[in-house]
Structure 1
């Protein structure tokens, strides 16, 4: 049997705080689970949407989500929209994620996956994304747009670290997105450095998108008085 490796766009998404979600639901009695239904409903909704895109594949196992589709510029736009909406749906349920999108030779079935594109996407997620954002490889950006200076998409943002990521505050208004964001931001930000950095990033993302409606201006330093 000859198997063919073809160029695909591949995304790897990591659900942040998954261990805590599993612990919460497994320790609660029936009827008091909080996360399993949300995650399953979002997965089902995204899979139904993905079915309309020929060759699209979506697989979730544990805290990892893999999406792939044969490469084309149109498919790039479509998978970006699907991932952006997936990330927003998670956010609306109080769940954060981060990820990477790349491309490369890829083969998969329902229970087998062999992919160079997935390796690249995973490396982007684990080494570059850091914050709750889905970062797109510059090589893929250049393949689609010709160069990083020609990016033309309402969904794609460039951060000051030079990385491109998918925008996902997809509510209809600043007020609507603020309600969603406040659902994941505690009144007092975490003292854990990694968690706090992600919370501050979310605030900065909102403030950049809505400069006239800024929230929680960051005052990082205070004077210690004797």
Structure 2
């Protein structure tokens, strides 16, 4: 029976893909831990299909959101999420509130990226605005979805989510005054290749000032992702296309400014993030592993204590 009342809706649309998923599946044939990894990641993403997951937890502490009214940033009841295989599609119904809706969506996507990175999973994606048909039971199609998919495929390239020109033209840029700021302004940046978006680590730089994010928790999480990046650099000898993604992520990691540890010596806040060093820097060897250099400095640091 035909339903002639079906129509497209204007929505924010994010298409996100897990990088290296095929390789993880291949490894799972002989490594049962990889099966557990795949299951835990897909179950985690599946959990985001519940609209109440897209709450205000990561927005309500933002001064800019409080100033504009937190209720305007609420995605619950306006969000549909469909996860399948190694991809996830998120769409949010918008009207004249695109800045508010984009803020909450971006903040939550940044959080998801951090959780997955701790598990050793890299993601990339495209975020746009367009027409889409997206139901609670997972049926999804439309030009907006195609645009988001093409953005992820052709432009994202690295572990990041990039925004379309179409969406950027509707967001509050150029940002000229503090009162015009929205939460997403802290997450978005323009990369060296011209794309605008946010990488999989930016969550750390934004939330480090939150009172509940104590230095111990932040340091523990940063150490996890640091090891993930080093391991990725050292396990891609035959895959330069994989290596370049971890190298890019290493550069973004080293650029992060985390000032959560107060030094009684300098009387200033210091970066608690341990840098990922280049291979053999300050060492007379020609080792091919990043982990060798990392272990060298860590062991020397422990010996001095």
TMscore range, shorter length? 0.7 to 0.9
Query: Does the residue aligned with 2:49 lie in a helix, a strand or coil?
Result: helix
1-structure distance, mates of 2:35, 2:105: 31
Bigger relative CO (Cα 8 Å, ≥ 6 apart): 1
**1:16-51: CA deviation from partner (whole Å, max 9, x where unpaired):** 11112223335556x873323321342144334137
Alignment of 1:72-91 (within 5 A): 72-91=98-117
Structure 1 segment 16-35 matched on structure 2, within 5 A: 16-27=19-30, 33-35=35-37
Q: Does 1:50 find its partner at 2:111?
A: no
Superimposed CA distance per residue, residues 160-204 of structure 1 (whole angstroms, 9 cap, x where no aligned partner):
111111244234446632432312432636232101100110111
Task: Indicate the RMSD between aligned Cα atoms, in angstroms.
Answer: 2.9
1:155 and 2:187 matched? yes
TM-score by length of 2: 0.63
The aligned counterpart of 2:125 is 99
227, 236, 255: which is aligned to 1:190?
236
Structure 2 residue corresponding to 1:63, chosen from 73, 86, 101: 86
2 CA distance for matches of 1:90 and 1:46? 13
* Higher mean C-alpha deviation, range 92-101 or range 106-115: 106-115
Tell me the residue number matched to 2:14: 11
1:205 paired to 2:232:
no
Between 127-136 and 38-47, report the one with greater CA deviation. 38-47
- Structure 1 position 129 matched with structure 2 position 156: yes
Aligned length: 220
Q: 1:53 aligns to what SS in structure 2?
A: coil
Task: Indicate yes or no: 2:120 matched with 1:116.
Answer: no
* Structure 2 unmatched runs, 5+: 56-74, 209-217, 259-270, 281-305
What residue ranges of structure 1 are gaps of 5+ in the alignment?
Answer: 220-226
Q: Secondary structure at the match of 2:186?
A: coil
**Corresponding residue to 2:41 among 39, 45, 51:** 39
Instruction: Evaluate the alpha carbon distance shift between residue 218 and residue 140 of structure 1 in structure 2; reply closer, same or farther with a 3 A threshold.
Output: farther
Conserved? CA contact 2:229–2:250, under 8 Å? no
- Comparing 182-191 and 100-109, the one that deviates more: 182-191
Which position in structure 2 is the counterpart of 1:138? Answer: 165
Change (3 A) 1:181 1:46: farther
How far is 1:73 from its partner? 1.8
Do the aligned residues in 2 keep the contact of 1:158 with 1:164 (CA within 8 Å)? yes
Give the TM-score taking structure 1 as reference length: 0.83
**Aligned equivalents of 2:34 and 2:84: distance in 1?**
23
Q: Describe the shift of the 1:102–1:136 C-alpha distance in structure 2 as closer, same or farther (beyond 3 A).
A: same
